[in-house]
Amino acid sequence: MKLSVIGTGYLGATHAACMAELGFEVVGLDIDPAKVEALSRGELPFHEPGLPELLIKHVASGRLRFTTSYAEVGAWADVHFIGVGTPQRPGESAADMRYVDAAAVSLAEHISRDALIVGKSTVPVGTAERLATLIADTRDAAGLPGAVELAWNPEFLREGFAVKDTLTPDRLVVGVTSAQAEDVLREVYAQALAAGTPWIATDYATAELVKVAANAFLATKISFINAFSEITEQVGGDIGTLADAIGHDPRIGRRFLNAGVGFGGGCLPKDIRALQARVSELGLDRTMRFLAEMDDINLRRRDRVVDLAVQVLSHTLHGAPRRAPNGGAGHTPDPVSVQVLNGARIAILGVTFKPDSDDVRDSPALDVANRLYTAGADVAVYDPKGNANAAARFPRLDYVNTCEAALQGADLVILLTEWDEFKALDPTHVATLMARPTIIDARNVLDPSTWRQAGFTHAALGHRYID
């Protein structure tokens, strides 16, 4: 079976290389010639562990190639996966569907044989039905030969684990309108099915909703624990122990209850906003209203880090009496805060939205770094993989190539993305580099007592700053 994958971003490039690894002949299509050239040379334009090896292996074997030509894939492939982006529309909550629509129409215009189109992008419910009609109408108008069907097969891969999640998924969900379409997809995923992966064949709407429901649930879990952080920051208590304790209940589970600076990335934030926009369109304004609250809780975590930085520095730099925390209510820096931050040297460790990725889309870490800079702090940023992408967005921050360079002479260090390199830091060594041994752990991954024993003033999200 010959496969094409439309779009070669985080999702499409991973899917293409993994399908080649499963033994299929694959062509990846992108409208960006520079991307196609890089991928054809075996160069991955983003960071994803394990993926460069697969790309190189299958470009060399000839099983995987890349093109910009819809005519080429339309004449060649049996199955076409659509893996293009559905970003948030600028200034709106809804998803921008122009890339998915363009891919569907371009395929419809160029397929000249029997084929199955399989949508993988995250889309508002109702999209597959709309596209099925669009594809049929386009082909009827052009009088093209061959029967073309549409299926929807949402993707659940996580950045950083994309290869594993694609080759050995938790579950496979397909929205289909015929037994033939399901059979084709069973053949594509035969290896995972043989290994016992749950297979859920359903209608379009369910398949589309499964994806957004999963991401909305994950976002809610994170904001739920972060809401409790606002309480423990005020009254004391340990947010990690609270998460561990409730997580022992198998109905709740411990995963995705890590309190910190919150969720970001190209998926969770825009997906909960697009879901609210879609249900409003359907006249169900109140149905997903709680997600607006989850979004707010999430964004308040960023305010809280800025607020903590002001509190900590007003004490360590300016000798002011320590202030009681404000309960996590958060605020953008007022003039007093700007005075405190002005000229303070702050080391930022991590700018990606999570470790093992170079993705800075809607990154809480990068947002915090930029806010501190805007308020007058002298910000030195280090991320093992994210500096280049961050610099493309906020070029005026001072990006350095090592952790040590960021820490040199700093009045405060803020850990914002939990890379292994930062979790393994030796506080005694860090103290020798800094002007003042002061740390904010915005991901709750460091042991406070070890850092305090090394002479650090230590603050963390979800913990009262002053006991």
Binding site for ligand UGA (CB under 6 A): 122, 155-159, 215, 218, 222, 256-258, 260, 262-265, 267-268, 353-354
Burial class (CB in 10 A: 0-12, 13-18, 19+), 241: exposed
Q: How far is the CB of 267 from ligand UGA (least distance, A)?
A: 3
Closer residue to ligand UGA in complex, CB, 83/325: 83
Q: What b/e sequence results for 377-404 when a residue is b if at least 16 CB atoms lie within 10 Å of its CB, and e otherwise?
A: bbbbbbbbbbbebbbeebeebbbbeebe
Task: Measure the CA–CA gap between 143 and 428, rounded to whole angstroms.
Answer: 73
DSSP letter, residue 149:
E
Looking at beta carbons only, is 220 or 408 nearer to ligand UGA? 220
CB of 268 to ligand UGA, least distance (A): 5
**Taking a C-beta distance cutoff of 8 angstroms, is the pair 273, 93 a contact?**
yes
* Residue 386, phi then psi, degrees to nearest 5: -100, -5
Per DSSP (E only), the strands in 71-147 are 79-82, 115-119
Q: Shortest distance, CB of residue 74 to ligand UGA, whole angstroms?
A: 27
Output the smallest distance, CB 156 to ligand UGA, in A.
4
Cβ nearer to ligand UGA, comparing 159 with 441:
159
Q: Crossing angle for the helix pair 268-281 and 289-316, nearest 10 degrees?
A: 150
- What's the min distance (Å) between Cβ of 248 and ligand UGA? 16
CA distance 164 to 371: 35
The candidate with the shortest Cα–Cα distance to 295, out of 224, 201, 356, 387, is 224
CA quadruple 395, 398, 401, 403: dihedral sign = negative
Length of the chain: 467
Query: Do 410 and 440 touch, CB atoms closer than 8 A?
Result: no
Q: How many CB atoms lie within 10 A of CB 109?
A: 17
Strand order across the beta sheet in which 438-441 lies: 398-399, 378-382, 345-349, 412-415, 438-441, 457-460
Nearest approach, Cβ of 352 to ligand UGA (angstroms)? 9
The Cα 228–Cα 247 span in angstroms is: 14
Q: Which of 123, 209, 267, 309 is catalytic?
A: 267
CB closer to ligand UGA, 135 vs 279:
279
Distance of closest approach, residue 160 Cβ to ligand UGA, in angstroms:
7
Instruction: Output the smallest distance, CB 79 to ligand UGA, in A.
Output: 20
Beta bridge partners of 118: 81, 151
- Per the structure block, which two tokens stand in for 223? 């904001």
Active site residue 267: yes
> Nearer to ligand UGA by C-beta: 257 or 347?
257
Whether 274 contacts 94, CB under 8 Å: yes
Active site residues: 267
